[in-house]
Amino acid sequence: METIIACKICGLMQRMEALQPGTAAECCRCGSVISKHKVNSLGRTAAFSLAALILYIPANIYPILRLTRYGAYSESTVWDGCVRLFEDGQWLVAVIVFLASILIPLFKLLGLCFLVITTKFKSARRRQQRTWIYKIIEVIGPWAMLDVFLLAVLVALVKLEQIATVLPGPGLLAFTVVVALTILASASFDPKLIWEEPDKGS
């Protein structure tokens, strides 16, 4: 089936045949890629999301930071950190950390799984809403990195003051891998598949 597509770079409208898996189409005027058919998009999105969902558990159960201060040793998980910030009256920071490191990653992963399952069964229902879910996941993508940066800043600050020794806990590794896998999962998903008609192959 032919479609008419506009180049995002130079704006030229052009007719395009349906692409074979693993191929891409270039603009005939400026040469930018105008459309891509990703190979096994659903399979890869499912694999990355599932791996991330599994690692989400140790990322939240195990401590992300181990702290030695004046000889006292303490460990804290992401949730402990939120609670402590809240108790210290830093409720705005507590809410940001809670959203960026606990709620949003989970929402993204569940959203991606939902998109994979409904697309796999070629559901024609609520396509607009599903496209919206995909757009939201894309927009909030970079914000999931936020607290890795926050942690790095925290560790640097504490080290500067020389009052405590901060070591990364096992949860931090799992946490970082979850962030990376989620980025790969959302990059693998091809939103055009949501709109593919059931009679055609994927």
- Taking the complex as a whole, how short is the minimal distance between the CB of residue 5 and Zn ion, in angstroms? 10
**Of 8 and 127, which has the nearer Cβ to Zn ion?**
8
Which of 7, 97, 116, 178 is close enough to bind Zn ion by CB under 5 A? 7
- Taking the complex as a whole, how short is the minimal distance between the CB of residue 28 and Zn ion, in angstroms? 8
- Does 6 help bind Zn ion (rule: CB under 5 A)? no
The alpha carbon torsion through 137, 143, 144, 145 (nearest 10 deg) reads 140
- Taking the complex as a whole, how short is the minimal distance between the CB of residue 79 and Zn ion, in angstroms? 48
Span 111-130, contacts to Zn ion by CB under 5 A: none
Question: How many residues touch Zn ion (CB under 5 A)?
Answer: 7
Handedness of CA 50, 98, 107, 110 (dihedral sign): positive
**Of 11 and 21, which has the nearer Cβ to Zn ion?**
11
Residue 8-37 contact track with Zn ion, rule CB under 5 A, x = bound: -xx-x--------------x-xx-------
**Of 30 and 54, which has the nearer Cβ to Zn ion?**
30
- Taking the complex as a whole, how short is the minimal distance between the CB of residue 19 and Zn ion, in angstroms? 17
Do residues 64 and 76 lie in contact, with contact meaning Cβ atoms separated by under 8 Å?
yes
The SS3 call for residue 72 is strand
What phi and psi values does residue 38 have, to the nearest 5 degrees?
-70, 140
- Taking the complex as a whole, how short is the minimal distance between the CB of residue 16 and Zn ion, in angstroms? 12
**Of 27 and 100, which has the nearer Cβ to Zn ion?**
27
Q: At what angle do helices 146-161 and 170-188 cross, to 10 degrees?
A: 150
**Of 10 and 117, which has the nearer Cβ to Zn ion?**
10
The SS3 call for residue 4 is strand
Burial 62-80 (b: 16+ CB within 10 A, else e): bbbbbbeeeeeeeebbbee
Cα of first residue to Cα of last residue in the chain, in angstroms, is 14
Span 147-176, contacts to Zn ion by CB under 5 A: none
**Of 12 and 148, which has the nearer Cβ to Zn ion?**
12
Which residues here bind Zn ion, judged by CB under 5 A?
Answer: 7, 9-10, 12, 27, 29-30
